[in-house]
């Protein structure tokens, strides 16, 4: 009998294969008491397990292949950083000493406390870090038990293997790097979880947040993973299997056709040139960007250079990273966002208390302005690197014209310092403002007099506009990129930029969603920045679009405030023949 489960679609097409269950559980942790004389040895055993876990993670980090997604290294670095946090590496020792209990029980008690604290957090991305903590703790448990993680040898997997797990960590992804498994599904995860981000970057069929898949599926059962619709089918009958084989063939044919347009110019059918750029996290992403056909880097998330470290990166270290990207892009533009730290991304060297609602606290440009020496070191590094390529500087999380002016003043100060020191830089380096807060979108007219370009971060703009946690199952269906209020803010930003002669790009998830490409084109957008894996699908939509044909439908969508009507018009926009 067919069993159908619904979760969050991560993409990667359709896979048909056999389930392989990955078992990992902390539910049956032993609890026993210790005598005073046994406490030092037990704490030493815990310390050794932490050291062994760190060694494992560092070895995995060092074995990441060059063609792996950059997110893999960034997330492994985060796990190494979490391992060094006192709440994981020190507080269980105190529980051992105070409660005279074994290390496993102490670690479980501390883990339960951390999970409870994470569950109480409202901001979605930060709450998703609970899974990262659990993944790190699970590895410590395995080392306390003296057993390796219960994972199959990569060589034992067949190319039709579908991994079924409660969760998969970045370390697991590295472990499986040499295998050819077909897909993966997990019980947990949200749109901003590391599992989701890695799934998108690996371009594997994947569905997350299935809740009970690990319990319902048996080893070697035949399953279908539909990463487009977010559907998992267990034991499909012949009729269902035949239909999904047809869909799989169609998906593979479409993917082959996409490869043929890699070198094509991104032009609409009426000849309008559209700039398709790529988002990156680390310098080594550049190879993937150049292979994707992108005409530049539209968003370099520089904060990933600051994570997974014991100390703040120096100006020279940052300079070398930015220079490498600029040189490797060989004259193509590289937009580098200044560090967007705080909220969910708190390096351990950053000594700031976590706010009750960190997403509304000291984050993004607010943190940079509160730490001017740290900010100016980055600005100096960016300016120095601008001498070696076409670098643009983007300020994130701006709320007001005042914050923008303060940021530009810090940049001018850095320019003056470098000039006095005789260090070369591009004195005309372009500066941009990121529009991801509704207040910034509403006053964007005051911004364009001070910047060279605008970049709309739709992920945060949607959440802040709608007050929707997209990872909360009870309200995630309300997370809507085509909500009338969201569309009005985006349209206002684009039109204001056009009127003021300032280029506007979209660098959030909307830019990489081909279902929204024509809508954004109809709004006047001409620059899209996305994950490299999404670029060809968006390019295909661009090549098959005539702006005059889509204008009437897009206009009706933008004038409507009826969600049902907007949904119908969006479908019409994307199903018009040869539009």
Residue 300: pLDDT over 90: yes
Cα–Cα distance measured from residue 518 to residue 515, given in angstroms and rounded to the nearest whole number: 7
pLDDT (0 to 100) of residue 466: 92
- Which residues, 6 or more positions from 250, have their beta carbon under 8 angstroms from its beta carbon? none
What does the pLDDT average to over 442-453?
A: 97
Range 283-309 average pLDDT: 85
Q: Which two tokens stand for residue 439?
A: 């207040």
- CA–CA distance, 453 with 432 (Å, rounded to integer): 5
| pLDDT tens string 212-263 | 888 789 888 999 999 988 999 999 999 999 999 999 999 888 888 888 899 8
Distance, in Å, from the CA atom of 179 to the CA atom of 122, rounded to the nearest integer, reads 37
What average pLDDT does range 363-374 have in this prediction? 84
- Give the domains, in start order, of the chain with CATH numbers: 3-24+166-255 (3.50.30.10), 38-146 (1.10.274.10), 270-547 (3.20.20.60)
Radius of gyration (C-alpha) of the chain in whole angstroms: 25
The stretch 431-460 carries a mean pLDDT of 96
Q: What percent of the chain clears pLDDT 90, i.e. is strictly above it? A: 51
**Number of separate helices (H) and strands (E) present in the chain:** 23, 16
Question: pLDDT band at residue 153, thresholds of 50, 70 and 90?
Answer: low
- The answer to whether residue 177 scores a pLDDT higher than 60 is no
Q: For 384, which DSSP code?
A: H
Q: What rounded mean pLDDT belongs to the chain?
A: 85
Q: Where are the beta strands (DSSP E) in 268-385?
A: 275-280, 297-301, 334-337
Give the separation between CA 151 and CA 174, rounded to whole angstroms.
Answer: 12
- pLDDT at res. 207: 92
pLDDT, position 149:
44
Tokens read off for 485: 């209020």
pLDDT of residue 321: 93
pLDDT of residue 340: 84
Q: Could you tell me the two tokens for 148?
A: 């390796």
How confident is the model at residue 31, as a pLDDT?
Answer: 80
What integer is the mean pLDDT of 274-289? 89
Angstrom distance (rounded) from CA 283 to CA 385: 13
511 three-state secondary structure: helix
DSSP output for 22-89 = EP---TT----B--GGGHHHHHHHHHHHHHHHHHHHHHHHHT--TTS-HHHHHHHHHHHHHHTSHHHH
Name which of 299, 71, 315, 29 is nearest 201 in CA terms.
Answer: 71
Report whether 524 contacts 490 (CB < 8 A): no
Contacts of 419 (CB under 8 A, 6+ apart): none
Q: Which residues are annotated as a binding site for Mg(2+)?
A: 436, 460
Binding residues for phosphoenolpyruvate: 301, 337, 459-460, 470
Q: 579 falls in which pLDDT band (50, 70, 90)?
A: very low
Lowest average pLDDT, out of 79-83, 147-151, 432-436, goes to 147-151
pLDDT at 357 over 60: no
**Range list of H helices, 120-237:** 124-145, 170-175, 194-202, 213-216
What are the tens digits of pLDDT across the range 385-414? 999 999 999 999 999 999 999 999 999 999
Question: Where residue 147 falls among pLDDT bands split at 50, 70, 90?
Answer: very low
Most confident region among 69-73, 217-221, 222-226, 301-305 by mean pLDDT: 222-226
Q: What's the order of all strands across the beta sheet hosting 161-165?
A: 3-6, 231-234, 222-226, 14-22, 161-165, 183-186, 206-208, 8-11
Q: Which residues are annotated as a binding site?
A: 301, 337, 436, 459-460, 470
Of 128 and 312, the one with more pLDDT: 312
The residue annotated as part of the active site, out of 194, 368, 483, 531, is 194
Q: What is the pLDDT of residue 166?
A: 81
pLDDT at 347 > cutoff 50: no
Give the pLDDT mean for 261-272: 94
Catalytic residue among 101, 111, 368, 507: 507
Distances (CA, A) of 516 to 9, 44, 539, 567: 16, 56, 12, 11
- pLDDT confidence of residue 349: 43
pLDDT above 70: percentage of residues in the chain = 83
Reply yes or no on whether 194 is catalytic: yes
- Tokens for 270? 């009426």
Is residue 368 part of the annotated active site? The answer reads no
Query: What is the model's pLDDT at position 231?
Result: 93
Per-residue pLDDT tens digits for 205-224: 999 888 888 878 988 899 99
pLDDT in tens, 2-18: 789 998 888 778 999 99
Q: Looking at the DSSP assignment, which residues form a beta bridge with residue 101?
A: 33
The neighbouring-strand residues paired with 267 are 273
User: pLDDT at residue 143 above 50?
Assistant: yes
Classify strands 8-11 and 231-234 as parallel, antiparallel or unpaired: unpaired
Lowest mean pLDDT among 82-86, 240-244, 469-473, 511-515: 469-473
Give 441-471 as a DSSP string: HHTHHHHTTT-SEEEE-HHHHHHHHHT--TT
């Amino acid at each position: 009998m067919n069993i159908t489960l619904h979760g969050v679609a991560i993409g990667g097409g359709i896979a048909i294969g056999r389930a392989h269950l990955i078992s990992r559980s902390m539910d049956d942790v032993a609890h026993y008491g210790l005598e005073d004389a046994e406490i030092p040895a037990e704490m030493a055993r815990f310390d050794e397990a932490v050291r062994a876990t760190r060694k494992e993670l560092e070895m995995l980090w060092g074995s990441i292949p060059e063609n792996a997604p950059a997110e893999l290294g960034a997330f492994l670095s985060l796990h190494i950083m979490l391992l060094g946090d006192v709440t994981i590496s020190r507080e269980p020792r105190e529980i051992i000493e105070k409660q005279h209990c074994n290390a496993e029980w102490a670690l479980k008690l501390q883990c339960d406390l951390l999970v409870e604290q994470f569950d109480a957090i409202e901001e979605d991305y930060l709450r998703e870090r609970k899974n990262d903590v659990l993944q790190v703790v699970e590895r410590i448990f395995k080392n306390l038990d003296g057993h390796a993680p219960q994972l199959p040898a990569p060589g034992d997997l067949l190319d039709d293997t579908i991994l079924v797990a409660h969760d998969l960590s970045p370390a697991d992804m590295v472990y499986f790097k040499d295998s050819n498994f077909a897909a993966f599904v997990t019980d947990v995860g949200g749109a901003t979880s590391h599992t989701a981000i890695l799934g998108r970057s690996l371009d594997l069929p994947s569905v997350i947040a299935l809740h009970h898949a690990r319990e319902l599926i048996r080893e070697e059962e035949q399953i279908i993973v539909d990463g487009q619709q977010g559907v998992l089918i267990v034991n499909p009958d012949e009729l269902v299997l035949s239909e999904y084989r047809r869909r799989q063939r169609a998906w593979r044919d479409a993917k082959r056709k996409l490869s043929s347009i890699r070198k094509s110019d991104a032009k609409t059918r009426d000849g309008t040139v559209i700039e398709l750029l790529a988002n990156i996290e680390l310098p080594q992403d550049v190879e993937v960007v150049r292979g994707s056909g992108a005409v530049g880097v539209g968003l370099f998330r520089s904060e990933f250079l600051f994570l997974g470290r014991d100390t703040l990166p120096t100006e020279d270290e940052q300079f070398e990273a930015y220079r490498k990207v600029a040189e490797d892009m060989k004259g193509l533009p590289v937009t580098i966002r200044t560090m967007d730290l705080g909220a969910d991304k708190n390096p351990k060297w950053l000594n700031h208390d976590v706010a009750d609602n960190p997403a509304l606290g000291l984050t993004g440009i607010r943190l940079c302005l509160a730490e001017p020496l740290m900010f100016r070191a980055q600005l100096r590094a960016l300016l120095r690197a601008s001498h070696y390529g076409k670098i643009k500087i983007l300020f994130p999380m701006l709320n007001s014209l005042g914050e923008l002016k303060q940021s530009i003043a810090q940049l001018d100060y850095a320019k003056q310092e470098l000039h006095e020191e005789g260090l070369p830089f591009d004195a005309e380096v372009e500066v941009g403002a990121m529009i991801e807060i509704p207040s910034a979108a509403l006053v964007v007219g005051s911004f364009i007099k001070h910047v060279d370009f605008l970049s709309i971060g739709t992920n945060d703009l949607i959440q802040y506009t709608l007050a929707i946690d997209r990872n909360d199952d009870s309200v995630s269906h309300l997370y809507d990129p085509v909500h009338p209020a969201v569309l009005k803010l985006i349209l206002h930003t684009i039109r204001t930029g056009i009127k003021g002669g300032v280029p506007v790009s979209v660098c959030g998830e909307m830019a990489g969603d081909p279902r929204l490409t024509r809508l954004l084109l109809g709004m006047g957008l001409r620059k899209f920045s996305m994950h490299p894996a999404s670029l060809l699908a968006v390019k295909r939509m661009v090549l098959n679009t005539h702006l005059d044909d889509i204008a009437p439908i897009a206009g009706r969508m933008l004038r409507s405030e009826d969600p049902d009507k907007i949904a119908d018009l969006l479908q019409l926009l994307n199903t018009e023949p040869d539009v």
